[in-house]
Amino acid sequence: MPKLKDIPKIDRPREKFLAKGSDALSKSELLAILLGSGIKGKNVKKLSEQIIRKFGSKFLDLTVENLLKISGIGEAKALQIISALALVKRFYDEKGPKENLVLSAKDAVFLNSDLKDKRKEYLTCLYLNARNALLRKEIVSIGTLDKGIVHPREIFAPALELRSAGIVLVHNHPSGDPSPSKQDEEIFDRIIEAGKILGINVIDFIIIAGDETYSFFGNLQQGDKNALYISDGIQHSLFDLLIDQKMEYNQQISKTAGKTNKPNNNASNKITFIDLFAGIGGIKIGFEKAGFECVFSNDFDKSCKITYDFNFARKQKSLICADIAKVSSNLIPDFEVLTGGFPCQPFSIAGYRKGFTDEGRGDLFFEIIRILEDKKPMAFLLENVKNLKTHNNGETFRIIYKELQKLGYYVDDKVLNTMEHGNIPQNRERVYIVGFLNQEALNRFSFPEKIKLTKTIHDCLESDVEEKYYYNGKPLYEKFKKEITKKDTVYQWRRKYVRENKNGVCPTLTANMGMGGHNVPLVLNKKGIRKLTPRECANFQGFPKDFKLPNIADSALYKQFGNSVSVPVMERIAVNIKKALAC
């Protein structure tokens, strides 16, 4: 029998406790620390496992006589265990029984508040009864979350033992960004499916990143972080919520299906369009301001759906949150104009310019081709980063043109800058590609001309900003203080230095803002140095003042506005498309 000293230090109960805390230890490992040493021929870890295995759920009712029946256990070790049990019971009786009820994501986060400071990734599970009272909290895994490592049996074995009615999974992101990763979503889907089979409700999957959180349950409840896990005495299940969402999707599709593909055929006499890769609706706002009607919108990002539906769902159809590659053209209602700001990261400098080889993002352009070929709308508008034109020595752009022209479209493009074509003080260059089935329509179309920039950054900045956006007294403040000296411009932190924008406008807002920290542009005012707020980012993209921001993580909002489009530029292009189609 190997001795305890032969076990690697990190796996010894005492060292493991000191390094990872009590939640990382099994019951037998905790008992091993209490016993201190084993017996002849059996180390303390094996002895503890034998005791736990033998008595199981009856452990709390042990007597000295029970323990003395185990070979090698004498009075001394038996008294160690029984005295510890008696002490715990004494304190518990004095305090009185108290249930930990987990009724919302807030309660679950409170029970896992230690995760926000962890430098490694943890996955913990809260096991609940039918009244959502906590039965047990366990650490499922430590280290990078991977569906190959986190198996459903590791999560549901204790649930079956405890006869748990539901579970809440809590995971941390040391990166500081609570947005779910692809791995998170894959594990989320897998666990929900397993829970449905076993009859155990998977109530929520929460991600903690510092002081910010993301709740899958809250996401499915229109972004309500305080949504209750129980209503009318019934415990909610993510599986049922997802089924409800799928039914809503099918109902929306059935309502919009069957329309004809002719100009001005709808009751409002407006030109219809669809909004692919819709994000939070920047293109939609611009086109609707120009008099178009949106009949379908889609995006894969669940946090975008929260913001989109928060602004539009009560008046119109919700955003369909699904992989566009899995959406059949037959499920998309007929329309006259296709719009899409297809993923730009594969072609941007910040995204390392992988282009069409960026599986899952770069190849999404060909989903646009599929839908154009199947639906044959009269026109389209596509938006992307300026670098799309020069990517791979221009070969990528040539392929895009060739594919669009093969479908019979007459195509044109132009790079427009928000500060020159939208009267918004942001230096944002994007390439816009238009196409028409009718060559005369293309001949009638023209891209917007440059206009005078009359707005300043102060028109986009807020006067009353929360303290959390200020860097005063925080790391790097002294460096910022030396280099950020002007109040009439916006600065950028470029990893090792601060860059001033000499033209007095905001630098390009990017999706990297969603990573937090200094990726968000910086400004100086009389109170100190701070980063832009999400609302200010909305202003620098030209979103209307009544555009509402849901109660979700700032990091998600920063990413959304960095990925979005400049609304005034979209509106001006839409007006010209409408004129070209009118004749």
pLDDT at 36: 81
CA 512 from chain center: how many Å? 13
Q: Are strands 498-500 and 491-493 parallel, antiparallel or unpaired?
A: antiparallel
| Residue 264 CA: distances (Å) to CA of 336, 374, 454, 578 | 9, 20, 36, 11
In sequence order, the 6+-apart residues with CB closer than 8 A to the CB of 457 are 425, 488, 489, 490, 504, 505, 506, 523
DSSP single-letter state for residue 59: G
| Secondary structure (3-state) at 37 | coil
In sequence order, the 6+-apart residues with CB closer than 8 A to the CB of 241 are 217, 220, 221
Contact 365, 400 (CB under 8 A): yes
Percentage of residues in the chain with pLDDT exceeding 90?
40
What is the spatial distance between Cα 509 and Cα 428, in angstroms, rounded to a whole number?
8
Query: How many other CB atoms are there within 10 angstroms of residue 203's CB atom?
Result: 27
The answer to whether 344 is a known catalytic residue is yes
Is it true that domain 105-243 has CATH number 3.20.20.10?
no
| Residue 178 CA: distances (Å) to CA of 111, 221, 350, 557, 583 | 17, 18, 21, 12, 50
What is the spatial distance between Cα 285 and Cα 291, in angstroms, rounded to a whole number?
10
What is the spatial distance between Cα 300 and Cα 308, in angstroms, rounded to a whole number?
12
Q: Label residue 304 exposed, middle or buried (CB < 10 Å: 0-12, 13-18, 19+).
A: buried
pLDDT at 473: 79
DSSP single-letter state for residue 1: -
Tell me phi and psi for residue 166, to 5 degrees.
-155, 165
Q: Considering the candidates 125, 304, 321, 344, report the single residue annotated as catalytic.
A: 344
For the stretch 13-68, pLDDT in tens is 788 778 777 777 788 888 888 888 877 777 778 888 888 888 876 787 788 888 88
Amino acid at the residue 181:
S
Segment 114-118 mean pLDDT: 84
**Structural tokens at position 230:** 């129980």
- Is the confidence at residue 512, as pLDDT, over 90? no
Q: Which is higher by pLDDT, 465 or 6?
A: 465
**Structural tokens at position 319:** 């955003």
- Is the confidence at residue 431, as pLDDT, over 70? yes
CATH number of the structural domain 264-448+567-582: 3.40.50.150
Q: What pTM was computed for the model? A: 0.59
CATH number of the structural domain 457-563: 3.90.120.10
Q: What's the chain's average pLDDT?
A: 83
Q: Which is higher by pLDDT, 424 or 262?
A: 424
**Structural tokens at position 426:** 């942001």
Where are the chain's structural domains?
4-95, 105-243, 264-448+567-582, 457-563
List, in sequence order, the alpha helices (H) in 202-301.
Answer: 216-220, 238-256, 282-289
| CATH class of segment(s) 4-95 | mainly alpha
Query: Helix, strand, coil shares of the chain as percentages rounded to 5?
Result: 45, 15, 40
Amino acid at the residue 394:
G
**Which of 536, 407, 406 is closest to 466 using CA atoms?**
536
What is the spatial distance between Cα 512 and Cα 522, in angstroms, rounded to a whole number?
14
